[in-house]
Amino acid sequence: MVSDHEQVEEMARSFNRKVHFHDIPDAILSSIFSLITDTRSRNAMSLVCLKWHLLERSTRTFLSLRGNIRDLVLLPTCFRAVTNLDLSLISPWGCSIPDSSLNTTVLAQVLHWTFPSVVTLTVYARNPSILRLLAPQWPYLRQVKLVRWHQRSSTTLGSDFVALFEHCHSLASLDLSHFYNWTEDLPPALEAYPSIAASLSHLNILNYTSAQGFKSHELLAITSACPNLREFLATCIFDHRYIGSVGDETLLSLATNCPRLSLLHLVDSSSMSAARGDPDNDGYTTEDARISQNMLIEMFSALPLLEELVLDVCHNVRDTWIALEMLNSKCPRLKSLKLGQFHGVCKGIDARPDGIALCSRLESLSIKNCADLTDSGLISISLGCPRLTKFEVQGCKKITKLGLTKVASILRKTLTEVKISCCKHLNTVTSLQALEPIQDSLQRLHIDCVWEMVEQSVSEATSSAKSPGFKCSEKRRGIWEETNLKKKYKKYNFNGDGYASSTWAKLQYLSLWIEAGELLNPLALAGLDDCPMLEEIQIKVEGDCRHQSSPSSPDDFGLSSLRCYPRLSKMNLDCQTAIGYALTAPSGHGDLSPWERFYLNGIEKLNLTELNYWPPQDIDVNRRSLTLPAAGLLAQCRTMRKLFVHGTASEHLLRFLLEVQTLRDFQLREDYYPAPENDTSTEMRIDSCSRFEDALNRRAIPD
């Protein structure tokens, strides 16, 4: 007699033999396809069959155009469902569409007919003419991001926004974070179009292109014109020595003007600099900000819907624990908090939580430049905020490995992202040791490559094993060479328990800061040798190379040591804050070409498919340019598909890159202010870029 269980199994087998994937209703298939976000996966799906091709095209809502500006008239007509269109990366980068030789009126109509459903637009608006051309084509735009790294054109105040505000009456989101303009431009434009200002719910003026911050009266004019803002991000001036600085009155008025805010970011303009702080100072600035505890409490009371708050003041705000205790009750929805230069955030004197430790609903917490934060404060915060998944400490001078280890142990079930930077007592080794309780669950990590203890720790460990670890080069302080026994000893447990496994099982993203002239080689032996899931790494090099001895040919930064990460495929190598001489090297000093060879040597040994590279710069002449050694080394990357150089390059050097048979997408991006003008540069000529792209596109791509 057949049991019920066997009958069910037989029915299931019969069902599986008869049902095909295409028998699933189209509505469900469309929902499945719409969940796929990876571009290459979607492209592969569209090649399966005609039905999949139509489904993929009908569910693709985002598209970034990367073709040459002269080929826009050849746009395909099958992406009519696209609602989010990015035109900011059209090649040559930074070229204005109206300034091209094309018939701009016809081109605008082609764009509208090809993408009729666009409601979100990103565009490089080098001058107001681009918005005068495009805004009438999509009058129902709701979200717009403007990009500009070139100098502002000589036009009247607010003229960059007139066409947008005149034609797009449904505008709800405006992002100017990468758009160079004067702080005086936006307020009069918003005041001239009150209906548009009132409809805005998201405004991002957290400007990365300029060192200027918005003055207090400008912030008040903006928030007064936009009373319905739910998300507001802005750079401002908190230094009371400057006219228009932000203090108690401005903050309280801002909160009163926009009571519906759920996200508020206010960052001092000096904090936008990419430079790392000095870990040896005491953490206090010379001046205090004009921000009182009573005002903070009133501000929190005026923003009951707040979910994310960033206050990076860059000037001392002292004894803030009282106001932060009220933050928990006044803003019950708060989940993300970042504080910069706030002192006394948590006393941590006894077992009773206080200050920021009472914000029990926080899921993300970043504490920057808190001079008096101690290990006991850290422990109190981790006990009082059990939901934290993201935790950052930066420039906190008094915390140690012990406190961070306790945090990792207490939050081991929730913590997945950690950043540790510029903390005096936390170098690379101690930071990684402190995170051992969560090394099997951590997904994203930033640490500073400070090797001051690596030599001592590794030598102690390896001496007991009768094996040398690192030896210091006499030529340059801080440069390490691995011995031939590196592979034998992958990691040593410095607690005295002998060798132990150090697998970071779920780590997918790693961010590193390293001083100019230091080597990357000790990273693996410091404790990051086994990361089987690591796919992306970001390396930021900072320092002045002008007064260091120029690296010789055998010297190697250590990129080849990253071969121990089998799935590593994406890299951001940022050397823009490594300063040297490009064309102005005085007698006895070398230029930047040996340094580029130093930093890129060994990259050909990695199986990278995507690379963003920022060349070192000469700040005296505002020059970031690819040199001959760099072009030669990049040409040896045999698996590279995408290469974006954030600088300039001569056409004959670009020709080296044609040797990379797999290279599919390449672009020069001058995304730094002021971006060089194409008509005055001997490198960034439109014809040069177009000729290289033509040569690149003529090749057959292996896959």
**What confidence tens digit (pLDDT) does each residue in 496-551 have?**
433 344 799 999 999 999 999 999 999 988 989 999 999 999 999 999 998 888 88
576 in any annotated domain: yes
**pLDDT tens-digit map of 633-644:** 999 999 999 999
Which pLDDT belongs to residue 93? 86
Which pLDDT belongs to residue 7? 63
Q: Which is nearest to 152 in space by CA: 682, 548, 674?
A: 674
- Judged by DSSP in three states, 234 sits in strand
Average pLDDT of the segment spanning 282-297? 91
Say how far apart CA 58 and CA 53 lie, in whole Å.
9
Cβ neighbourhood burial of 49 (10 Å; 0-12, 13-18, 19+):
exposed
53 in any annotated domain: no
Which pLDDT belongs to residue 698? 87
Q: Which is nearest to 125 in space by CA: 156, 164, 74?
A: 164
Which pLDDT belongs to residue 350? 72
Say how far apart CA 227 and CA 220 lie, in whole Å.
11
Mean pLDDT across the chain: 86
Which pLDDT belongs to residue 4? 60
DSSP 313-380: EEEEE---HHHHHHHHHH-TT--EEEEEEE--S----SSS--GGGG-TT-SEEEEES-TT--HHHHHH
Which pLDDT belongs to residue 19? 66
- Rg (alpha carbons) of the chain, rounded to whole number: 28
H or E element that contains 62: strand 62-64
* pLDDT for 13 beyond 80: no
Which pLDDT belongs to residue 552? 76
**Residue 700 — very low, low, confident or very high, per pLDDT cuts 50/70/90?**
confident
Q: Which is nearest to 530 in space by CA: 432, 657, 461, 608?
A: 432
**Residue 12 — very low, low, confident or very high, per pLDDT cuts 50/70/90?**
low
548 in any annotated domain: yes
| Residue entry with tokens 């005086």 | 184
Which pLDDT belongs to residue 488? 34
The conformational region for residue 20 under phi > 0 = left, psi -120 to 50 = alpha, else beta, is: beta
Q: Is the peptide bond before 674 cis (omega within 30 degrees of 0)?
A: yes
280 in any annotated domain: no
Instruction: Compute the C-alpha angle 161/165/169, nearest 5°.
Output: 160
Which pLDDT belongs to residue 97? 74
Question: Who has greater pLDDT, 102 or 588?
Answer: 588
The total of structural domains in the chain comes to: 1
Say how far apart CA 394 and CA 184 lie, in whole Å.
33
| Residue entry with tokens 């102005």 | 584
Question: Who has greater pLDDT, 635 or 475?
Answer: 635
Q: Out of 423-432, 473-482, 587-596, which region has the weakest mean confidence (pLDDT)?
A: 473-482
Which pLDDT belongs to residue 481? 39
492 in any annotated domain: no
Which pLDDT belongs to residue 510? 98
Tokens of 126: 């080098």
Say how far apart CA 445 and CA 451 lie, in whole Å.
17
Half-sphere exposure of 581 (CA within 13 A, CB side): 14
Which pLDDT belongs to residue 470? 34
402 in any annotated domain: no
Say how far apart CA 603 and CA 613 lie, in whole Å.
12
Question: Who has greater pLDDT, 679 or 161?
Answer: 161
Cβ neighbourhood burial of 459 (10 Å; 0-12, 13-18, 19+):
middle
CATH assignment at residue 612: 3.80.10
Tell me which DSSP letter residue 521 carries. G
Range of the domain at 560: 509-698
* pLDDT for 679 beyond 90: no
Average pLDDT of the segment spanning 418-440? 95
* pLDDT for 478 beyond 50: no
SS3 track for 650-686 = CHHHHHHHHHCCCCCEEEECCCCCCCCCCCCCCCCCH
**pLDDT tens-digit map of 111-143:** 999 999 999 999 999 989 999 999 999 999 999
659 in any annotated domain: yes
Residue type, 602: G
Average pLDDT of the segment spanning 581-599? 84
592 in any annotated domain: yes
Tokens of 508: 């997918």
The conformational region for residue 344 under phi > 0 = left, psi -120 to 50 = alpha, else beta, is: left
Tokens of 221: 């004019």
Please provide the size of the chain in residues: 703
CB 666 within 8 A of CB 635: no
